[in-house]
Amino acid sequence: MIPISILDLVPVIVGETPREALPKSLNLAQHAEALGYKRFWVAEHHNMTGIASAATSVVIGYLACGTSTIRVGSGGIMLPNHSPLVIAEQFGTLESLYPDRIDLGLGRAPGTDGRTLRALRRDPGRADSFPEDVLELQSYLAAVESEQPRAVVRAVPGRGTEVPIWILGSSTFGAELAAAFGLPYAFASHFAPDALFDALEIYRNEFKPSKQLGRPYAMVGVNVIAADTDEEARRLFTTVQQSFTNLLRGSPGKLQPPIDDIEQYWTPPEKQHASRMLKYSIVGSSETVRRDLESFVALTKADELMVVCSLHDHAARIRSYEIVAEITGPR
């Protein structure tokens, strides 16, 4: 089986706060390391009460400090929200503290709403300069010998660390950029499935080798909810279904406990929309998940999978990742 990694949204459940959510994510990262997962990424989201990873670089440091071998990184940093120099300094610091364990995944979406974007003091038009910002960030992290002799702005820490950069995307734009820059590409099919195959085709066909990467390397996101029985997994999945329904209603909120009948929760239009967003979700027992994971890998020809499992019950979330690790075996 190909390498398997985890995208954790550091979920905050109903009745709790980020103070409880963050240690749970560290506990999950420690389990993931012991189970043989390759990476553990967290994502930048703002003004969302159900996600505790807004200060993404800080959270990565917390997780890296509590683990010892698993790669830890961003899935991703929303670069238009930040100065490339500041991100270079933050990730250069992380790489200096935890050598050869830090990944820098970059996205160009704001990860929030327009009002919050303004509160971040960023211009919405910054997304248009995303390619230039990526190149600027690369230059700050570049090896010392490759720097221009007259460079006067240096990222310290950062300079010479060459933290691996990934391009994240949910459309063909990111695929084109990752291919042009010769960078690994991660597609967010766990919530935005529509352009998956077009993006992968563009990325693979247009890829140009770079110093960082000699051949295309595509990671694909997929929701996986595994339990001891299909019935139990489907019930656990109702937490995810409620979250996407609430997102459509404009009030994502904290994670809700599972319910017996999701049909009583969403309307037919909400069901249609949420189910389309959750198209690439694998839900079931070990046997079901094994079959569907193998089919998904064969369908996408992914080089790596990024598994997402946001559940209300922490023990059930750990058990789900245990089942996936048992299925996929040593890596």
Q: Are residues 267 and 206 in the same domain?
A: no
Q: Are residues 9 and 79 in the same domain?
A: yes
How far is it, in rounded angstroms, from Cα 232 to Cα 285? 8
Taking CA 109 as the corner, what is the angle to CA 84 and CA 136, rounded to the nearest 5 degrees? 20
Stronger pLDDT, 274 or 109, i.e. the higher one? 274
What value does the mean pLDDT of the chain take?
93
pLDDT computed for residue 128 by the predictor: 80
User: Which of the four pLDDT bands, split at 50, 70 and 90, describes residue 121?
Assistant: low
Q: Are residues 169 and 198 in the same domain?
A: yes
Residues 6+ apart with CB under 8 A from 85: 136, 140, 153, 155
Q: Are residues 126 and 162 in the same domain?
A: yes
How far is it, in rounded angstroms, from Cα 94 to Cα 65? 10
pLDDT, one tens digit per residue, over 48-73 is 899 999 999 999 999 999 999 999 99
- Is the pTM of the predicted complex or chain greater than 0.75? yes
Q: Are residues 32 and 119 in the same domain?
A: yes
Q: Are residues 30 and 8 in the same domain?
A: yes
Q: Are residues 245 and 270 in the same domain?
A: yes
pLDDT, one tens digit per residue, over 68-93 is 999 999 999 999 999 999 999 999 99
CB atoms under 10 Å from CB of 79, counted, come to 26
CATH of the domain at 209: 3.20.20.30
Q: Are residues 91 and 233 in the same domain?
A: no
pLDDT at 204 over 90: yes
Average pLDDT over residues 111-118: 69
| Parent domain of 132 | 4-224+302-325
User: Which of the four pLDDT bands, split at 50, 70 and 90, describes residue 118?
Assistant: confident
Q: Are residues 320 and 275 in the same domain?
A: no
Q: Which of 24-28, 30-34, 108-112, 211-215 has the lowest mean pLDDT?
A: 108-112
pLDDT, one tens digit per residue, over 255-291 is 999 999 999 999 999 999 999 999 999 999 999 999 9
Q: Are residues 71 and 137 in the same domain?
A: yes
CB 5 within 8 A of CB 304: yes
Q: Are residues 310 and 295 in the same domain?
A: no
Domain count, the chain: 2
List C-alpha distances in Å: 143 to 57, 140, 147.
22, 9, 7
Q: Are residues 164 and 277 in the same domain?
A: no
